[in-house]
């Protein structure tokens, strides 16, 4: 039986229009915090317990800095937004210092091999992952009007950190994209004939600003799900986008079938996009803008990938062996 407290936290987040993935992540860390404190009610805990928990994550669980930050954000929400008792702004805890791993990057020939073997039904969104360097959910959340055929670009709204950006679009994908729009239009026409259909999901601010948008074709997802579903927060019947697991499974299974000796995920294609742009001489600031990174240091990790091998540093062994040829 679900905890009444956690159910209330969930309902509070839904009322504030938090994304379902954010709700799931916050609930995980709030639950972990409660168990860490021997199931004491969070009202009986505050700064000291939060500091101890965050230090535990760094010292005993060796979580990555981003994971520790996510746990902190969950607890900040809990105490400020739900319990009305904000944490101090000067929490003292051991910060995670686990060094980030260098990203896994495919060669151009490996990307070609992967894309040529992806199931046809999912090839377009996966081509966009690499061709435009998008995150998985950025591809899935594309709406029909986000495609700019005139300027060969995609508009990405409310991405990580709430940022908007415009990214490149390979002109070779234009025919496939137009065909995909026609497929999405078939679903749209079916749905508009369903009296129970309430239109596509829009964030609250947009839904309030454009009340007719949920039933307009241009606002519907480019990659719609084959099934209608009930939106948890409103109980409205809607058509969502395809589930991320379908793309994740396709990439993973294809890489396994091809016997790649690298761990390949959807995000690997984004890493490969950035690295290949730099290999072709793109300015790092341009790559930063395409990826939507706030901090240039995040983008510079791809220069480390290039510099780690013969592209950046010539091994002295190469000179030595060359003498004997």
Q: Which residues are catalytic?
A: 135, 160, 267, 270, 293, 302
One DSSP character per residue, 90-107 reads S---PPP-PPPPPPP---
One DSSP character per residue, 57-93 reads HHHTS---HHHHHHHHHHHHHIIIIISS-PPPSS---
Instruction: Please report which residue ranges of the chain form alpha helices under DSSP H.
Output: 4-15, 20-36, 47-59, 65-77, 108-117, 123-131, 136-140, 174-192, 204-209, 244-257, 266-279, 284-291, 296-299, 301-307, 316-322
Tokens of 177: 């994209």
Long-range contact pairs involving 179-182 (C-beta distance under 8 Å, separation at least 24): 180/124, 180/222, 180/223, 181/144, 181/147, 181/222
Q: Are strands 229-230 and 237-238 parallel, antiparallel or unpaired?
A: antiparallel
């Amino acid at each position: 039986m679900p905890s009444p407290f956690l159910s209330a936290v969930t309902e509070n987040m839904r009322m504030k229009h938090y994304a379902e993935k954010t709700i799931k992540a916050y609930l995980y860390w709030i639950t972990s915090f409660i168990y860490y404190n021997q199931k004491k009610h969070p009202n009986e805990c505050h700064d000291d317990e939060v500091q101890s928990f965050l230090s535990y994550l760094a010292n005993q669980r060796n979580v990555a800095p981003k994971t520790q930050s996510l746990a902190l954000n969950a607890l900040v929400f809990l105490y400020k937004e739900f319990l009305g008792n904000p944490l101090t702004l000067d929490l003292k805890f051991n910060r995670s210092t686990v060094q980030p791993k260098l990203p896994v990057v495919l060669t151009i020939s490996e990307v070609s091999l992967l894309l040529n073997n992806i199931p046809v039904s999912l090839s377009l969104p996966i081509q966009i992952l690499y061709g435009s360097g998008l995150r998985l959910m950025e591809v899935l959340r594309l709406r029909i009007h986000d495609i700019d055929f005139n300027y060969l670009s995609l508009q990405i709204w409310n991405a990580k950190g709430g940022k908007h950006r415009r990214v490149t679009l390979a002109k070779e994908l234009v025919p496939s994209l137009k065909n995909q729009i026609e497929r999405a239009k078939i679903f749209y026409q079916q749905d508009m004939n369903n009296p129970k259909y309430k239109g596509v999901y829009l964030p609250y601010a947009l839904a309030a600003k454009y009340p007719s948008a949920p039933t307009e074709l241009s606002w519907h997802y480019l990659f719609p799900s084959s099934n209608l579903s009930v939106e948890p927060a409103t109980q409205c019947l809607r058509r969502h986008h395809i589930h991320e697991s379908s793309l994740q499974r396709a990439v993973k299974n294809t890489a396994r079938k091809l016997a790649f000796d690298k761990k390949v995920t959807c995000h690997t294609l984004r890493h490969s996009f950035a690295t290949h742009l730099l290999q072709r001489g793109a300015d790092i600031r341009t790559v930063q803008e395409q990826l939507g990174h706030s901090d240039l240091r995040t983008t510079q990790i791809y220069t480390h990938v290039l510099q780690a091998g013969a592209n950046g540093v010539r091994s002295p062994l190469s000179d030595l062996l060359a003498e004997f040829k």
